[in-house]
Amino acid sequence: MTNHHFLLLDGISTGELFFVFLIILIFFGSKSIPKMARTFGRGIRQIRDASQEIQDDIKKAAFDDPTTDHTSKNNS
């Protein structure tokens, strides 16, 4: 039995979330929030891409034949 938690927001109610968004709106203003969201999205995308690249490198290294020499010894 697995119990999935959505972003670890178990103890936060809708009213509390509304209050947090209201405070963010007051401090940052309505014009800068889309820029912040865009920057956050780009950052998440970069993290996801880097994570995928690391996973691909690990998979490639795991399935690479260690007895095969990839360097050319006959460089004349």
Residue extents of the structural domains in the chain: 32-60
What's the token pair of residue 32? Answer: 């800068």
Question: Which residue would you say has higher pLDDT here, 42 or 11?
Answer: 42
Rounded Cα–Cα distance for residues 40 and 25 (Å): 16
Q: Is the pTM of this model over 0.75?
A: no
Residue 7: its pLDDT value, please?
59
Residue 12: its pLDDT value, please?
78
pLDDT band, residue 1 (cuts 50/70/90) = very low
Question: Which residue would you say has higher pLDDT here, 68 or 54?
Answer: 54
Whether the CB-CB separation of 34 and 25 falls below 8 Å is answered with: no
Rounded Cα–Cα distance for residues 1 and 21 (Å): 33
Question: Which residue would you say has higher pLDDT here, 22 or 7?
Answer: 22
Question: Which residue would you say has higher pLDDT here, 7 or 20?
Answer: 20
